[in-house]
Amino acid sequence: MSSQRKAISLISGGLDSMLSSRVTMDQGIHVEGINFFTGFCVEGHTHAIRKKDKQKPKRNNALWVAEQLGIKLHIVDVIEEYKSVLLNPGHGYGQNMNPCLDCKGFMVRKAYEWIQEHGYDFIITGEVVGQRPMSQRRDTMPVIQRESGAGDLLLRPLSALNLPETRPEREGWVRREELYDFSGRSRKPQIELAAKFGFEDYSQPAGGCCFLTDKAYSDKLVDMWAHRSSRDYEFDDIMLLKVGRHLRPRPHFKLIIAREEGETRFLEGYRKQFAHLQCKSHSGPLVLIDGAVDEDDRLLAARISARFGQGRDAGEVEMEITDLDGHAQPLTVKPLAADEIPQDWYV
Amino acid sequence: MSEHHLDARRLLCPMPVIRVQGAVAKLAVGEILQVVCSDPGALHDVPAWCRVHGHRVLLAEQRGDEVHIRIEVMAQETVL
């Protein structure tokens, strides 16, 4: 009697990876999940930061999927390694700063390393031919197999019948005839299969689960690089791009303005790393100053910041600016009028 | 029964889960991990991770702005 085969499943938290895992489990394969945290994942952070989202149920969808399936989930921090994917994607970017093809290749490569290290037999993903414009096309799916090194140890159970036979099928670890032939952008087959399995609650994010597919986020990332000496980032940089209004009134500095209480609390954690402004005479947001500023810049920053507080219509407001060394200085300023803030200052 | 502490405050999910995963992987069966987080999402995510990995959550509660979770390691974990 042969021993049970083992597969690792790339779990995003969406429906497709949930289905592909279940399809494989139903063939007697031991499946565990793996989820890679790049720093650009959408859900957890924004919900945690923004108070207005506090009423939404907070859950990590990948963990939730694992729990529904009854499998272990390994969450892997790839923040540092992912930099090379985002900064130098061999296949370029999608509509925004999303390097989807390189990203998928990277994740499958990491999964391939994982199965080699842990003695697993193959990798499964929820990919479907024609589902995504960059990474899930008939011509790019073999690229992922080749460049990740996984080759024919990568099985896509939902679309397997549209693709060449893989080793798990050839060796009889899984029965090819019980796999699927999904293709295209329609979600109907997945929804029908979900119903068959009794899955009623699942996530189907329209733009995927990555901030890099979001235009507003990508614009902020491009702006950050355009105003720095090097095209690089740290984890805090990409976190701060998710939070607040970003206004760049001068090329050498920008302001990060909290939009509500939850964001203020989050930005408070950065007060030692950034000069910052707070209105003292009225209720107002915490504002971080990203960049070196002179006296004129400080005044301008204070006037802009005052615009976003309760004193916006007052003749004067009392602001306080705190430098990086912790030295706080009062500033009395007239808030800028709405029409004094050009639209192109908004990043 | 030895007890260990993990400070995951100021980390946003899934980082607290990743830190818990790493900490549990270094512990033996029966040892206790006491975790403190500031992301309210950890109140759901860390126990969910424990459930799928078969560890026992002895306590999970919000105390003011902090989440406190106490975990008993029930099986040896893979080191990631």
Q: What is the pLDDT of residues A197-212, one digit of tens each?
A: 999 888 776 556 789 9
Read off the pLDDT of each residue in A324-335 and give the average, rounded to a whole number. Answer: 96
Residue A217 domain flag: no
Please tell me whether residues A23 and A160 are part of one structural domain.
yes
Of the listed ranges A32-46, A302-316, A322-336, B45-59, the one predicted with least confidence: A32-46
Please tell me whether residues A258 and A162 are part of one structural domain.
no
Please tell me whether residues A144 and A268 are part of one structural domain.
no
Residue A288 clears pLDDT 60, i.e. is over it: yes
> Is the separation of the CB atoms in A258 and A264 below 8 Å?
yes
Read off the pLDDT of each residue in A124-148 and give the average, rounded to a whole number. Answer: 88
Which amino acid appears at position A258 of this protein?
A: A
Residues of B near A (Cβ–Cβ under 8 Å) read 10, 12-15, 17-18, 21, 39-41, 43-45, 48-49, 51-53, 78, 80
* Residue A20 vs residue A46, higher pLDDT: A20
Does A75 contact B at CB distance below 8 Å?
Answer: yes
- Averaged confidence pLDDT in chain A: 92
Please tell me whether residues A164 and A79 are part of one structural domain.
yes
SS3 of A276, please? strand
Please tell me whether residues A144 and A21 are part of one structural domain.
yes
Residue A137 domain flag: yes
Residue A1 domain flag: no
What does the pLDDT look like over A60-89, one tens digit per residue?
889 999 999 999 999 999 999 999 999 999
> Which chain A residues are Cβ-neighbours of B43 within 8 angstroms?
58
ipTM of the complex: 0.95
Number of domains comprising chain A: 2
Q: B3-72 maps to which CATH number?
A: 3.30.110.40
Residue A230 domain flag: no
pLDDT for position A35: 96
> How many beta-carbon contacts under 8 Å exist across A and B?
71
Residue A234 domain flag: no
Residue A287 domain flag: yes
Residue A333 domain flag: yes
In chain B, where the domains are located: 3-72
Question: Which range of residues forms the domain containing residue A202?
Answer: 6-211
Give the residue on B whose Cα is nearest the Cα of A58.
B41
> Is the separation of the CB atoms in B17 and B37 below 8 Å?
no
Give B65's pLDDT tier (boundaries 50, 70, 90).
confident
User: Among all chains, which residue has been given the structure tokens 């994607």?
Assistant: A89
Does A228 contact B at CB distance below 8 Å?
Answer: no
CA distances A342 to A279, A304, A315, Å, are 22, 11, 21
Residue A81 domain flag: yes
CA–CA distance, A261 with A245 (Å, rounded to integer): 13
